Amino acid sequence: MSDAVSPLATPFPAMPPVTGAHIATVRAGYKAWERHDLTLALLDEGTAVAGVTTQSKCPSPEVEWCRAALPLGRARALVVNAGNSNAFTGNRGRAAVEAIAARVAAGIGCQPSDVFVASTGVIGVPLPIPTAEAGIDAALTAPQVGWEEVAAAISTTDTFPKGAMARAVIGDRTVNIVGVIKGSGMIAPDMATMLGFVFTDAAIDPLFLQQMLNAANGRSFSCITVDGDTSTSDTVLAFATATAGNAPLSSFDDAGADAFAAALNDVCLQLAHLVVKDGEGASKFIEVSVEGAESDRSAHRIAMSIANSPLVKTAIAGEDANWGRVVMAVGKAGEPAERDRLAIRFGDTQVASGGLAVEGYEEAPVAAHLKSQEVRIVVDIGLGEGRATVWTCDLTHGYISINADYRS
């Protein structure tokens, strides 16, 4: 993790262990750093799994492995490597994933397909199998660690560890949901552009867990962007160990299903916001809301066009209410919009309406709003009922410095 902590960083929350999940971290040594970089989660038999993976057309072998295993709906282990993404590494990369799964499977007595693998770091360098196997052997006998240690071990350019939790009541049982995530750059989810892992002690049918994760992802990870770049590697996995003793959930007709879905949504949204708050070089957390579009999908595309615009992001970094750049981003989104119906707000102040600047609007409240660490932009398209909200960060010199030096 970086020594320079994001000004938007938040303290790591107190999070309980999840029964049925034993998690250890060790230093495998993927890079020349003195920190833990391999995480191994051992999961009780009967653990259900669901996941969403990057839509990149150049996915890593780890992503392909997880995609093949997810339909089985079961998991016994998770391995996360930090410092080497193992992406774009051909047969050597695939062999590394197979070796990792086989090593864990032999160690705990399960099928390789029960082992999920994720890696993050530099693209194009094959993951060294002897290094991974030695790390796994050490992790198999290592003591359990806390969630903050897990969040730190899965990180690369992150500046602070990220975690979130929630609880839900299912019948007479209270279940825990905890999550950790890494992500700072190469964030423009066409699903999820980071590594995120959610653990719960609830008993849930894997197909229903997948349904709920898909919905939660659509409201969280797929609504954030740092730089407009979708990663080759990233994955969000949810594991349910079924140790809480609740009646298993299999549909929204089951008591407690709505409460669990709401808690899962909460955890995913918290994690997504933390990724944006650790955006490389970020100094401001920006919420972009679009309303009045022809459809929710259209509103989402327009909001992401605004959030991904370097001109909008640099204007916010400079605390400049340049609403013309917002108009530009709306116009280039490729979605229905009419210039003379647009209305734009910065915070609570209307700055443009009907295709014109609001005559005599006061700049002082806008300037004060843009000086804060959290900025809100609202755009009314004026065509329909579609609405969407996405989150991004500003674009500063820090982003260039981090990525210019990334491989050194």
Region 132-152: mean pLDDT is: 98
Q: Is the pLDDT of residue 301 over 50?
A: yes
Average pLDDT in the 196-219 region? 97
Active-site choice (193, 200, 225, 396): 193
Whether 401 shows a pLDDT value over 80: the answer reads no
**pLDDT, tens only, 258-270:** 999 999 999 999 9
pLDDT band per the 50, 70, 90 thresholds, residue 202: very high
Name the DSSP letter for residue 323: H
Q: Encoding tokens for residue 87?
A: 């992406």
237 has a pLDDT exceeding 80: yes
pLDDT in tens, 333-367: 999 999 999 999 999 999 999 989 999 888 889 98
Domains and CATH numbers, the chain: 21-277 (3.60.70.12), 285-404 (3.10.20.340)
Q: What's the pLDDT tens digit per position in 386-397?
A: 999 999 999 888
Looking at per-residue pLDDT, the higher value among 122 and 5 belongs to 5
- Rounded Cα distance, 356 and 367, in Å: 19
Give the mean model confidence (pLDDT) for residues 197-203.
98
Smallest CA-to-CA distance from 188 within 237, 236, 223 is with 223
Angle, helix 323-332 to helix 296-308, in steps of 10 degrees: 130
> Among the ranges 73-82, 150-159, 217-226, which has the highest mean pLDDT value?
73-82
Name the residue type at position 91.
N
C-alpha–C-alpha distance, residues 369 and 287, integer Å: 12
H-run or E-run covering 300: helix 296-308
Check residue 2 and give its pLDDT.
62
- Are the C-beta atoms of residues 224 and 189 closer than 8 Å to each other? yes
Mean pLDDT within 33-62: 93
Whether pLDDT at 408 is above 50:
no
> 374-387: buried (b, 16+ CB within 10 Å) or exposed (e) per residue?
ebbbbbbbbbeebb
pLDDT at 400: 72
Percentage of the chain modeled with pLDDT above 90:
80
Q: Please indicate whether residue 241 is annotated as part of the active site.
A: no
Per the annotation, where are the binding residues?
156, 182, 193, 280, 403, 408
The alpha carbon of 46 is separated from its chain's Cα centroid by a whole number of angstroms, namely 26
Dihedral sign of CA atoms 103, 109, 113, 119 in order: negative
List pLDDT tens digits, range 147-179. 999 999 999 889 999 999 999 999 999 999 999
pLDDT band per the 50, 70, 90 thresholds, residue 191: very low
| Cα(330)–Cα(304) distance, integer angstroms | 9
pTM summary value? 0.93
What is the 3-state composition of the chain as percent helix, strand, coil, each rounded to the nearest 5? 35, 25, 40
**How confident is the prediction for the chain on average, in pLDDT?**
92
Looking at residue 1, what is its pLDDT?
61
Residue ranges at the known binding site for substrate: 156, 182, 193, 280, 403, 408
